[in-house]
Structure 1
Amino acid sequence: MFKRPRTDFWQVGIVPVPIEDIDAGRLSAARERITWLPDAGRWRYLADPFGLVRGDALHVFVEAFDYRVKRATIERHEFGLPDLAWRRHSTVLDRPFHLSYPQVFEHDGETWMVPESYQAGEIALYRACDSSLDHWERECALLSGLPGADASVIEHEGRWWMFYTLVGPGARDQRELHIAHAPALVGPWVPLPANPVRVNREGARPAGRPFIGRDGVLTLPVQDCSTGYGGATRLLRFPRLTPGQVEIEAGPERLTGDLVSDSHQAGLHTLTGCGGYTLIDVKRIDRSRGKQWLDLKRRFTRIGRLLDR
């Protein structure tokens, strides 16, 4: 008897609360006012939301994963302001390797993206080619030769800081936090000698762009994987962060999917601010047999292509 497969499906939502004010109580209170992105379709999901506000529009960039090919592209979904009416979507970045976690931000008059591309063996910086935000080109590698995941960058007190994890055996990416710093966005980036600065499945893998809290302290959303990948998020505070010293305070509160959804209660693994909004994703787990047949079909297709060569 085959064991029933476990298939994760994520859903992205826009919470009308600034990330500086987010806690379990406010997240739950905003439940009925969350705007959810459209359903991605069969065997697909949207996750890892990041956003930009431009004029009368909120642009939400997401990982668009397809189980039929087992990789993701980056999509942009446009919402009108202030009503958050969905307008359109487009695929803005597609590579022969998996892409996710499309952190977008503005700096020096340009719009930038640092998507996860660990399968390419680098953490790379992309630049928007025009104001449409639909066309991007690779600018440079920030860190190369390592399987970096969920890199999250911020300029703070005269330096650039990058928080990331490394993909490796034993679910290394779910329990290690690494930090690098640079004098400028394009580098040179230098990992801290003390890496990993935190080893803890209850809060290490980055889960959104760092931000400055109401108290002026640098704060990083991280995943709490103590109950499984992406089970919840919590906040890490950095009262002191220099190339030679890192102080970390872990917030006690876990933010979970059941706070905002009846259908997607199995996880919440992104928490990122965008103006007066907080973007989240929540997870449901499917245990139907359909995924097994999908995997078999993909394998037979791959074998067929090899035989045709």
Structure 2
Amino acid sequence: MMEETTDNTGTISSQKNVAASGHNHHHRYKYISNYGVGRRFLFFASCFGFYAFVAATYAWFVFPPHIGRTDHVSSSSLGCREDNEGSWSIGVFYGDSPFSLKPIETRNVWRNESGAWPVTNPVITCASFTNSGLPSNFLADPFLYVQGDTLYLFFETKSPITMQGDIGAAKSIDKGATWEPLGIALDEAWHLSFPFVFNYNGEIYMMPESNEIGQLNLYRAVNFPLSWKLEKVILKKPLVDSTIVHHEGIYWLIGSDHTGFGAKKNGQLEIWYSSSPLGTWKPHKKNPIYNGKRSIGARNGGRAFLYDGSLYRVGQDCGENYGKRIRVSKIEVLSKEEYREVEVPFSLEASRKGKNSWNGVRQHHFDVKQLSSGEFIGLVDGDRVTSGDLFHRVILGYASLAAAISVVILLGFLLGVVNCIVPSTWCMNYYAGKRTDALLNLETAGLFSEKLRRIGSRLNRVPPFLRGFVKPNSSMGKFTLGVIVILGLLLTCVGVRYIYGGSGAVEPYPFKGHLSQFTLATMTYDARLWNLKMYVKRYSRCPSVKEIVVIWNKGPPPDLSELDSAVPVRIRVQKQNSLNNRFEIDPLIKTRAVLELDDDIMMPCDDIEKGFRVWREHPERLVGFYPRFVDQTMTYSAEKFARSHKGYNMILTGAAFMDVRFAFDMYQSDKAKLGRVFVDEQFNCEDILLNFLYANASGSGKAVEYVRPSLVTIDTSKFSGVAISGNTNQHYRKRSKCLRRFSDLYGSLVDRRWEFGGRKDGWDL
């Protein structure tokens, strides 16, 4: 009995020791595991925090704020949002025929009430509609209706609230130069577009696209232009972009049905005919007329029109992208049995500014009418991005961020923070005692096969293999780790750029819903040709630049073929090398605004567009990017001095907008003669003289206004070695002398000081 008791006790004691040992081992493993989890958490939190900080800093430096695309911030928050369908807007063209149309800016039409000197395309945008209380993401598919000298425009407007198309209306009483948004003409529970408007038997009808509900509706105006009533369903067929034309006593309905079996989207065309636009409609014998390539212009791109006895159909080329360009075809045969057309040359003046132009990427709709004056007016919609651009950018952005996360995990492998790809408890038999009962039950059920565990175990050999291959403690290993970190940062910035950086297009800032243009002027000479070439190539692509005037002060001027420009360039060769040439009266300048910009300053186009927008609010002011403050000491100082005094009273004209007539006439006046003589003596200070003249002319009012440039502005003279003012101290002494001289001649600036941060949009902080 005693021996048996001893054995039992020993067995029990042994079991207790094993249990205790297992219990201690479990706690030790748990402690180590918790330590590893904490270490991994700290590593990933540090990495992602650092990458997030770099991404935020990058965004702050690079991305321009989008405040101001509409005139009111509250409206901007509703309309003019990025849309996957595009950023369509509408421009106007004039000519002696539908085939010789030129954009409105070639007419140099000025409108004081909208600050447009001159009016420029697009003449009606999402900002125009949004600022009138009708939020819109884009405007497209313009159709004209003419009543005497009044033009009515109907178009698709994409609501940012319902995300569907409605039919908007606007009115012009000045031949299309300016448009008054009237409101929503038609709003249904489904998407509407392509508002084909026509007159029949004294009634005005509209036939918008409504293929979403599988039928073609005809509406009649009850109270033109904003009240319409459904007259009838003229065709139970989901036609898109349909138009009606009256030819040889028969009405022809031309449209596309993309829902039929075998129909080629954007490459299909059908024709129907009737004795009345109210129906009944019969199909053409040759339907479908087209069913092939998207690039042939099968899908309608506007109203068919009659010119010089011939009938023309407008189509859109969707080969490269939806709505890429407009094609026009002459209809040679149109009968119940036959249809034949041939494409004819047609092109609208295209901009070389690419995405920075309102129609630089796509034009897909054209409507032309002859006015009572005999001239033709054409309305065209244009876009600066491709269809689906937003979706593609988001996909690429998140893919880049996912790649950046993978880089962080790779760093974890190399540094030993992450030791496995697949959790070890799923893979190795050694950890079987530590797996949960639930996991063991799953294994017993066969859900985790031995083969999967082997694959997981092999994957987990990758981290130690990488550490052995890279050897983080070696010089080459440290270099490799550095390269990987930089790669992760680049991927993070690329991802942020794609997601939050917009389409890459620079858009102008409308004022009162309208856009305008300015002339860019710079003064240079032969030793700075390198600067000039970069200058012209860069700034000619800014949206609102109409022309570049190069004031050539010395040496043989370059040939225009040496300059890569998207706008006309004019080189004005001066007889004398004088800084006063900068403000010489030039009757060939066609815009009211001139931006005087030194050829060694490289700033983003978006900064320039902001400055132009501010100047249009106050064209009587000198609006620029480099403020200075003059106090009682009459000592010229840098911008830091103005910042320390929290205000400014001068704007350097090396980067400033001005009224060409007001500023240049004032500078060349007899009153400024002594000042000009002093400028020639010092070969300096022409900008200071203009500031004194502005202050003198403004009385007690504000004469200058500051717009803060972004931090990526570059002075290229530091790289070329041809800066005009190489010795800063000597340069400042000369300018202090100018301050004293001009104060004696034109009065002091000391009693003037305008504070930073006075604008609601924060552009002058």
TM over 0.5: yes
Which residue type is aligned with residue 13 of structure 1?
A: G
Q: Distance in 2 between matches of 1:123 and 1:195?
A: 18
Q: Distance in 1 between matches of 2:122 and 2:311?
A: 28
The answer to whether the 8 A contact 1:258-1:266 is kept is no
* Partner of residue 200 from structure 2, selected from 107, 121, 133: 107
Bigger shift: 108-117 or 267-276? Answer: 267-276
Q: Provide the aligned length of Structure 1 versus Structure 2.
A: 283
> What does 1:7-26 align with in structure 2 at a 5 Å threshold?
7-17=85-95, 20-22=97-99, 26=101
* Cα distance per residue 1:237-274 (max 9 Å; x no partner): 11110001111112254558647982431110101113
* Partner of residue 89 from structure 1, selected from 163, 182, 201: 182
Task: Tell me which residue corresponds to 2:275.
Answer: 183
- Specify whether residues 143 and 35 from structure 1 end up closer, same or farther in structure 2 by C-alpha distance, changes over 3 A only: same
Alignment of 1:135 onto 2:227: yes
Which residue type is aligned with residue 377 of structure 2?
A: Y
CA apart distance, 1:193: 2.8
CA apart distance, 1:200: 3.2
Q: Distance in 1 between matches of 2:122 and 2:363?
A: 16
* Cα distance per residue 1:206-225 (max 9 Å; x no partner): 011111122x2211100011
TM-score under structure 2 length normalisation: 0.35
Bigger shift: 78-87 or 226-235? Answer: 78-87
Alignment of 1:273 onto 2:351: no
Q: Distance in 2 between matches of 1:256 and 1:116?
A: 29
Task: Tell me which residue corresponds to 1:192.
Answer: 284
CA apart distance, 1:85: 2.9
Which residue type is aligned with residue 62 of structure 1?
A: F
Bigger shift: 77-86 or 159-168? Answer: 77-86
Task: Tell me which residue corresponds to 1:154.
Answer: 245
The answer to whether the 8 A contact 1:223-1:231 is kept is yes
The answer to whether the 8 A contact 2:151-2:176 is kept is no
Bigger shift: 5-14 or 102-111? Answer: 5-14
> What does 1:151-230 align with in structure 2 at a 5 Å threshold?
151-168=242-259, 172-198=264-290, 199-202=292-295, 203-214=297-308, 216-230=309-323
- The higher-RCO structure (CA 8 Å, 6+ apart) is 1
Q: Distance in 2 between matches of 1:43 and 1:54?
A: 26
- Specify whether residues 83 and 44 from structure 1 end up closer, same or farther in structure 2 by C-alpha distance, changes over 3 A only: closer
> What does 1:67-86 align with in structure 2 at a 5 Å threshold?
67-82=160-175, 84-86=177-179
> What does 1:43-58 align with in structure 2 at a 5 Å threshold?
44-58=137-151
- Specify whether residues 83 and 12 from structure 1 end up closer, same or farther in structure 2 by C-alpha distance, changes over 3 A only: closer
The answer to whether the 8 A contact 1:257-1:266 is kept is no
SS of match in other structure, 2:95: coil
Task: Tell me which residue corresponds to 2:324.
Answer: 231
Structure 1 gaps, min length 5: 294-309
The answer to whether the 8 A contact 1:166-1:172 is kept is no
- Specify whether residues 155 and 263 from structure 1 end up closer, same or farther in structure 2 by C-alpha distance, changes over 3 A only: closer
Q: Distance in 2 between matches of 1:84 and 1:240?
A: 37
The answer to whether the 8 A contact 1:50-1:102 is kept is yes
- Specify whether residues 43 and 127 from structure 1 end up closer, same or farther in structure 2 by C-alpha distance, changes over 3 A only: closer
Task: Tell me which residue corresponds to 1:64.
Answer: 157
The answer to whether the 8 A contact 1:59-1:78 is kept is yes
In the TM superposition, structure 1's runs of 4+ consecutive aligned residues that sit over 4 Å from their partners are 40-43, 252-257, 288-293
TM-score under structure 1 length normalisation: 0.82
Q: Distance in 2 between matches of 1:73 and 1:205?
A: 21
SS of match in other structure, 1:272: strand
- Specify whether residues 35 and 228 from structure 1 end up closer, same or farther in structure 2 by C-alpha distance, changes over 3 A only: closer
The answer to whether the 8 A contact 1:237-1:249 is kept is yes
Q: Distance in 1 between matches of 2:347 and 2:294?
A: 13
Q: Distance in 1 between matches of 2:177 and 2:90?
A: 14
Q: Distance in 2 between matches of 1:204 and 1:252?
A: 16
SS of match in other structure, 1:119: helix
- Specify whether residues 85 and 253 from structure 1 end up closer, same or farther in structure 2 by C-alpha distance, changes over 3 A only: closer
Q: Distance in 2 between matches of 1:45 and 1:58?
A: 21
CA apart distance, 1:229: 0.4
